[in-house]
Amino acid sequence: MDIDIQGFEEPNTLFESKDLIYKNEVYQIIGICMEIHRILGKGFKEIVYKDAMEYEFKQLNLNYEREKNYEIEYKSTILAHSFSADFIYDDKIILEVKAQQGVIEDHFKQTINYLAATKLKLALIINFGEDSLKFKRLIL
């Protein structure tokens, strides 16, 4: 399984590549999140930023699901516990919302597992918990 992790360190070059998967969708999502961060700043719990994201998605009439549950299959059996993605955007992008200083290795591992379980190709980890909005693209 090949994983590609792309970050926000070079915002001007991140969207220049013609090869980026779901480039326009990611651009729109990050624009929404930057607006939320500009207005709310850092310091709130994740749920507040999720509420603001849902508000913006509704205002723009975007296709999304919040807290979508996924069953986990193990050896042809559905396990008793599932996982819930913060958002699924347009049935193709997982959005994981964080509100803390830094994103740690465990967040990457968790989100990679989400990609594998959903069979989706792209996830964004979006962190509102720093002075400026941070995000990572994970491509499976």
The domain ranges of the chain are 4-10+22-139
Res 62: pLDDT: 97
Could you count the other beta carbons within 10 Å of the beta carbon of residue 124?
A: 24
Q: At residue 122, does pLDDT exceed 90?
A: yes
Using one digit for the tens of pLDDT, what is the confidence trace for 85-117?
A: 999 999 999 999 999 987 777 888 899 999 999
Rounded Cα gap, residues 75 and 85, in angstroms: 22
Q: At residue 11, does pLDDT exceed 50?
A: no
Beta-bridge mates of residue 96: 125
Helices (H) and strands (E) in the chain, counts: 4, 8
Q: At residue 15, does pLDDT exceed 70?
A: no
Residue linked to tokens 């955007």: 89
Res 6: pLDDT: 54
Rounded Cα gap, residues 94 and 18, in angstroms: 21
